[in-house]
Structure 1
Amino acid sequence: MDKQQRIKEWQEKTTQSMNRFPERKERFHTSSDIEVERLYGTEDEHYPMESLGLPGEYPYTRGSQSTMYRARFWTMRQYAGFGSAEETNKRFRYLLDQGQTGLSVAFDLPTQIGYDSDHSMSRGEVGKVGVAIDSIEDMEALLKDIPLDKVSTSMTINAPASVLLAMYIAVAEKQGVAAEKLSGTIQNDILKEYIARGTYIFPPKPSMRLITDIFGYCQENVPKWNTISISGYHIREAGANAAQELAFTIANGLAYVDAAIEAGLNIDDFAPRLAFFFNAHNQFFEEVAKFRAARRMWAKLMKEHYGAKNPKSWQLRFHTQTGGSTLTAQQPDNNIVRVTTQALSAVLGGTQSLHTNSRDEALALPTEDSARIALRTQQILAHETGVADTVDPLAGSYYVEHLTDELERKANEYIEKINVMGGAVAAVEQGYMQREIHHTSYETQKKIESGQEIIVGMNKFSIENEPQPELLRVDPTLGEKQKEKLQALKAKRDQNRVSAQLESLRAAAKSDDNLMPIIVECVKSYCTIGEICGVLREEFGEYTGV
C-alpha cells in the first residue's frame, strides 16, 4: 500500500472516530486564521534540511546563533519597577540575588510621558505602574550598588527615551563606568505607541529625529547598547493576532531603517544594534513559528532589499515577554501554567532574552513571591527540561514549518499594503494598523463572550467565591514624598546652569544638531525630565492622535 493510500484510510478511520465527539469536529484555526489540519506530513509537504538552512546562518530561520543555548542560556529578565527608586532598587537586588541575569525597568506613567511628579497630570499616578524618575538623583537611587559594567539593563521607555538613556550614562560615569562598557536596551519605539499603547509626546517627525539621534550618538559613544527594541508586544496586547504582530512590527522596523538612512547613517553601522520585542501568546505552535518567520523575513529584507553587507545586520535578535493580556484575575494560579507554556514557546522559538509574567499581574503589581515564581519558571525550563540541549528542536516538523510559511505569507501581505500607503509612518497617520487591531480585538472578544474561545477559570471551569490573594500595595503617600524630593533638588541645584542648559537644548532643537549630547549635559546639570521634555514640547508640539 502506498503512502497516499495509507493516509486516505487513516483519514477515513479517524473521521469515524471524531464523529463520536461533535464538539471537537469543527476545523481549527490559529489566532491568525490559519486553518489547522488534523495531520501534516503528506509527500507534497516535505522540508529537507537544505531548504531550512543551519542555525546561525542566513536566513536564520533556525536561530540567530549557531550554538544557541548550548553555549549560554537566554538572558533571564524580570520586568520590575514600582513606587520609589529606593523600593525598586531593593527588588532589583533581590532578583539578582535569586539568579536573574539582567535588569528590566518599568517606569510610571508620568515618567513615560515626560512629566515630573509634581505636575498636575501626574496626580494619582506617581509610582503606580512603575518607578518614578524625575532626575538623575532618582536614577542614582534606582541603580545604587548595581555594577553597570556587568549587568545588562533594559528600559521600557519610548517618547523620553533619550532623557532616561542620558541619565543612565551619567550615573554610570559617576560610578566610574565608561559609556562604551554599558550594555542594555531602550525600547525607544514610538510608532507602536501611536498604534497601540498611547504614551507618546511629540508628533511623528520630531519623534523619529530623536530616535535617529540616539542611533548616531550610541554608534559613537555607547557601542554595546541596543538603541531600539522594535516592539510587537504591545501591538499584540492591544488585540492583534500573530500575523498582525509580526507584520506591523517589521513594518515599523523598516520605517526606522529608512529614517536612519535618510539621516545619513550607514545601515551596517546601526542595524547590528537594532533589537526586537515580541509577545509569547497562548497558541503554542503558532508562537514558535512566528519567531522563526520573523528572523527569516528580517534577514531577507536587510540583505536583499537594503543591501546590508554585515551578517549582524541581517540578524533579528529579540526579547520576549509572556502575554499579559492572557492572564486572568480569576484563579490567578492558573497563570503560572499559562506563563510556563508561553515561555516554552519563546525558548523553542530561539529568543535571546525572556521575561515571565507573574501570576497576580492581572490584579496588581507582582508581589515578591510571585516574581520569584516567575523567575523560577525560566530557571526550571533552562536547567531541568532539556529543551536547551539542542538548537531549534522543532525544525522539520511539518506543522511548524507550515505555520512558519503561512505566517510569513500573511505578514508580507500586510507589509505590501503598508508599503502602498507610503510606509509605517503614513499607515499610522491614516489609522490603518489601529483599525486592523481594533477589528481583530473585537472579533476575539466576541468569541470569548460567546464561549467559542475558552479561557479556563473565566468563561469555563469557574469557581464561585474564590479567595483573593495577597497583593502588593504601593505607598499612597508616595506622590507627596516624590514632590518633596523634587523641591529639595530644585532648591540646592545651580539654577543658572540649569537655565543655560535648557536654552542650549532649545537652540539645538531648532537646528539639525544631534540632541543627545546636550540632553546628557542637561541631566548632569540636574535638569528634570519634565523640564527637558517641556522645552521639546514647546519646540516640537504635541501629538493628539488620529
Structure 2
Amino acid sequence: MFDPKELERLKQSKEQWKENKVSKVTQRFPERRSEFKTDSDIPVDTVYTPDDLGVFNHDEKLGLPGEYPYTRGVQPNMYRGRHWTMRQYAGFGTAEETNKRFRYLLDQGQTGLSCAFDLPTQIGYDSDSDLAQGEIGKVGVAIDTLADMEILFDQIPLDKVSTSMTINAPAAVLLAMYIAVAEKQGVSAEKLNGTIQNDILKEYIARGTYIFPPEPSMRLITDIFAYCAEQVPNWNTISISGYHIREAGSTAAQEIAFTLADGIAYVQAAIDAGLDVDKFAPRLSFFFNAHLNFFEEVAKFRAARRLWAKIMKERFGAKNPKSLMLRFHTQTAGSTLTAQQPDVNIMRVAYQALMAVLGGTQSLHTNSRDEALALPSEESVLIALRTQQVIGYEIGVADTVDPLGGSYHVEYLTDELEKKAMEYISKIDDMGGAPNAIEFMQREIQASAYKYQQDIESEERIVVGVNKFIMKQEPPKDLLRVDPALGESQKAKLKHVKENRDHARVHEALERIRVTAQSNENLMPVIIEAVKEYASLGEICGVLRDVYGEYRQQIIF
C-alpha cells in the first residue's frame, strides 16, 4: 500500500524529528512517564506514520466492511442500516420483579433482553436446596421450573424480542424452558431469536459456575448445537465469552487469545461429533469486555474479528461466509467501576460503550453507575440505556463504518494484538487445546491481575477517586436491595408447583434423561419433555450429576 522508498523517507524523517524537536521539548518539560504502554504491554510511541505499519496490504489486513477478513465489520453498512441491539442485562429477585424490569426497559427503547440468573440457578440447584440459602434472587432471578419462566416472559412476545441468557452449565435446561414458554405463547421454535452463553470452558478458567467435568459438558454443548441447527435455526447456540476472562484480570491480548482458543475447542468438538462446520458455525457468537484503554480496546475488537476469520477459513475449511464472521456482544467493564464517587462511573461507561461501537459490536450492555455497590436501581439503569441512545442517535459515530480504520495508531495496535494473541493460541495448541490448558490460562490471568493491582497501588495507574482526586462523600442512597423474605416466598412457590404436578410423568421424564445421558442420543428433546412436565432445574441437573459426576477445581498458585 505504501511505497518502500517513501516508508524509508518517513522513517528517517521521524527519527530526525524525535532528535531535533521532541528531545528539546522533553528536556524542558519531561513526559509523564518513562515509557507509555497499553494494558497488553504494547509500547505506545509519540506519534505513528505509515512506516510503523511497514508493507501494509490493504486487502489482506482490512478489506471492506462485510468482506473477508472482516476487520472493518461483519456487515457492509453496519449501523447505517440499523443500530446495534441495545441489550441491558437485568435480573434480580423473583420472576415477577424481573419481568417488571424487562417491560420497563422495553418501554424505554431497549431493543433486546438480557437475563441474569441467581447463583443457585447458575449451578443447577433449586431454591429449596440447602446450598441455595442466602443466595436466592441475589445476583439474578431465581428460576426453578417452567412456572417461573412463564412469569418471567409474561406479556413479552417471544417472536418479536431477542433474548440473551447468561447461563452456562445448565444452559440446556434454561433453553428448554424458553422453547416451552414460546410454545405456550403459540410461537414456534424456528421463530425464536436470541443467545445462550453456554460457554463452560471460561467457567473453568475464570468464573466458576460449572457443574460437570469438561467431557460431558462439551457433550451438552454439542447436543445444543445439533438440536438448534435443525429446530431453532435463528438461535445463537453459544456466546464464547472473553468478558469474564477480562474481568478476572487478563490483558486485552489474553482476552482475544483465550476466548478464541475456547472457540477453537468448541468447533473441533462439534466436528468430532459429526457436525458440518458450515451448519453450526454461523450461529456461534462471542462476548467481549470494553475496558479502559480506548484505542487498544477498539483495536482488540478488530483484531479478534480478523483472527477468527482466518482460523475458520484456514484451520477448519469453512466455506460459508457467515461461518467466518465473528459476531459479538459487548458489556462495559464491571471491574473498572468504583464504589468511590460512583457518578464518575457514568463517564467510564460512556467511553467504554463508545469503544464498543467504534469496534463494531452487534449488541451492547452498558453498566450502571451503582453496580460497585448494589444491583442497579431503576434510575441508574435508565441513565445506562440513555448512554447508548446518545451514542447511537446524537454524536455521528454510527454514520460511517469503522471510522478509526486507517489510523496508523489503531492499525498498528490491531496488528500487534493479533500477533500477541496468536502466540498464545500456538502455546495452547501445543498443550492439546483449551481443555488441556485451563491451568496455564489461569496462571497467566492471575499474573496480569496482580500486575494491574500493583500498578494501582504504586500510582503507576491512576483511578479517579481511588488513588487520586480523592474526596469525602456521603453514604450512597436509594440503592436497590433484594428483600431477604424473597427466599421463603420462592421456596413456597416451588413447593406448590411440585405438589400439583403429575409425579409419575415427572419421574418418567427424569428417567428418560438418565438413560439418554448414558447413550449417544441428543439430550435436548428429553430435557424439553421434562421441563414441560414441570420437572425442576435442580432435579434435571441432579440426574446429570448422578451420571456425569461433578468438576472439582484445581487450586492454582
2:205 to 195, 205, 210: 195
Task: Summarize the Cα distance change of 1:348–1:496 in structure 2 as closer, same or farther, 3 Å threshold.
Answer: same
Candidates 453, 456, 467, aligned match of 1:448 = 456
CA distance in 1, matches of 2:126, 2:33: 57
Listed as ranges, the gaps of 5+ residues in structure 2 are 1-5
| Alignment partner, residue 100 of structure 2 | 90
Structure 1 residue 189: deviation in Å? 0.1
In structure 2, the residue matched to 1:533 is 541
- Say which of 335, 342, 345 aligns to 2:355: 345
Is the Cα–Cα contact under 8 Å of residues 510 and 539 in structure 1 kept in the other structure?
yes
Indicate if the aligned counterparts of 1:108 and 1:126 stay in contact, CA closer than 8 A. yes
Give every structure 1 segment of 4 or more consecutive aligned residues whose post-TM-superposition deviation is greater than 6 Å. Answer: none
1:514 maps to 522
- Name the counterpart of 2:489: 481
Secondary structure of 2:495's counterpart equals helix
Q: Distance in 2 between matches of 1:42 and 1:523?
A: 59
Residue 482 of structure 1 aligns with an amino acid whose one-letter code is Q
Cα distance between partner residues in 2 of 1:475 and 1:270: 42
- Partner in structure 1 of residue 3 of structure 2: none
After superposition, the Cα gap between the structure-2 partners of 1:265 and 1:5, relative to the gap in structure 1 and judged at 3 Å, is closer
Q: After alignment, is 6-15 or 452-461 more displaced?
A: 6-15
SS in 2 for 1:29: coil
Q: Deviations over 1:212-245 (max 9, x none)?
A: 0000000111000000000000000000000000
Aligned to 2:259: 249
1:394 counterpart (390, 404, 410)? 404
Q: Find the counterpart in structure 1 of residue 466 from structure 2.
A: 458
* Cα displacement (A) at 1:26: 1.5
2:163 equivalent in structure 1: 153
Question: Who is 2:14 aligned against?
Answer: 7
Report whether the alignment pairs 1:81 with 2:91.
yes
Partner residue of 1:233?
243
SS of the residue corresponding to residue 229 of structure 1 reads strand
Partner Cα separation in structure 2 for residue 249 and residue 255 of structure 1: 10
SS in 1 for 2:87: strand
Equivalents in 2 of 1:21, 1:445: separation in Å? Answer: 29
Conservation of the 8 A alpha-carbon contact between 2:10 and 2:49: no
2:52, 2:408 within 8 Å by CA — same for their partners in 1?
A: no
Q: Indicate which of 295, 318, 335 corresponds to 1:285.
A: 295
C-alpha distance 44-144 of structure 1, shift in aligned 2 (>3 A): closer
With over 3 angstroms needed to count, the CA separation of the structure-2 counterparts of 1:365 and 1:425, relative to structure 1, is same
1:212 pairs, out of 208, 218, 222, with 222
Distance in structure 2 (CA, Å) of the matches to 1:88 and 1:44: 51
- Cα distance per residue 1:262-296 (max 9 Å; x no partner): 11000000000000000000000000000000110
Q: 2:544 and 2:131 mapped to 1: Cα distance?
A: 17
2: CA distance between counterparts of 1:49 and 1:412?
Answer: 20
Deviations 1:464-484 (A, max 9, x none): 244423200111100000010
- 1:154 alignment partner, SS class: strand
Letter in 2 for 1:509: A
Structure 2 letter corresponding to 1:311: P
Q: Which residue in the other structure is 1:184 paired with?
A: 194
TM-score by length of 1: 0.98
Q: Which runs of 5+ in 1 are unaligned?
A: none
Amino acid at match of 1:450: S
Separation in 1, partners of 2:399, 2:58: 19
* 1:305 CA displacement: 1.1
Equivalent position to 1:542, from 532, 539, 550? 550
Instruction: Please list the CA deviations of residues 35-79 of structure 1 after superposition, one character each: whole Å capped at 9, or x if unmatched.
Output: 000110043536464442111000001111111000110000100
Q: Distance in 2 between matches of 1:246 and 1:496?
A: 49
Aligned with residue 53 of structure 2, among 16, 38, 45: 45
- Superposition deviation, residue 25 in structure 1: 4.1
Corresponding position: 1:34 with 2:59: no
SS at 1:205 equivalent: helix
Q: Could you say if the C-alpha distance between residues 176 and 8 of structure 1 is closer, same or farther in structure 2, counting changes exceeding 3 Å?
A: same
CA contact (8 A) 2:52 2:412 kept: no
* Residue 465 to residue 373, structure 1, CA distance change in 2 (3 Å): closer
Question: Alignment RMSD, CA only?
Answer: 1.3
Q: How does 1:494-513 map to 2 (within 5 A)?
A: 494-513=502-521
Q: How far off is 1:31 after superposition?
A: 0.6
Query: % of aligned pairs identical?
Result: 70
2:2 pairs with 1:16: no
* Cα displacement (A) at 1:205: 0.2
Match of 1:61 among 71, 76, 98: 71
For the Cα contact (< 8 Å) 1:48–1:396, is it kept in 2?
no
1:369 aligns with 379
* 1:274 lines up with 2:284 in the alignment: yes
Match of 2:500 in 1: 492
Deviation at 1:5, TM superposition (A): 5.5
What does the per-residue CA deviation read over 1:377-426, in whole Å, with 9 as the maximum and x for residues that have no partner? Answer: 00000000100000001111110000000000000000000000000011
8 Å CA contact retained: 2:199, 2:240? yes
Q: Which amino acid aligns with 1:10?
A: W
**TM-score under structure 2 normalisation?**
0.96
Counterpart code for 1:469:
K
Count residues in correspondence. Answer: 544
Contact 2:341-2:473 at 8 Å conserved across structures = no
Query: Which residue type is aligned with residue 180 of structure 2?
Result: A
Aligned 8 A contact 2:239 2:287 in 1: yes
Question: 1: distance between equivalents of 2:370 and 2:40?
Answer: 28
Amino acid at match of 2:49: G
**Residue from 470, 473, 487 that aligns with 2:478:** 470
SS of aligned partner of 1:28:
coil
Inter-partner Cα distance in structure 1 for 2:515 and 2:51:
67
Shift of 1:20: 3.5
Change (3 A) 1:423 1:393: same
In 2, Cα distance between equivalents of 1:180 and 1:497: 27
- Distance in 1 (CA, whole Å) between partners of 2:351 and 2:112 is 22
Kindly indicate whether the alpha-carbon contact (under 8 Å) linking 1:18 and 1:24 is maintained by their aligned counterparts in 2: no
Which residue does 1:427 correspond to in 2? 437
Distance in 1 of aligned mates of 2:313 and 2:473: 57
Give the 3-state SS of the residue equivalent to 1:40 in structure 2.
coil
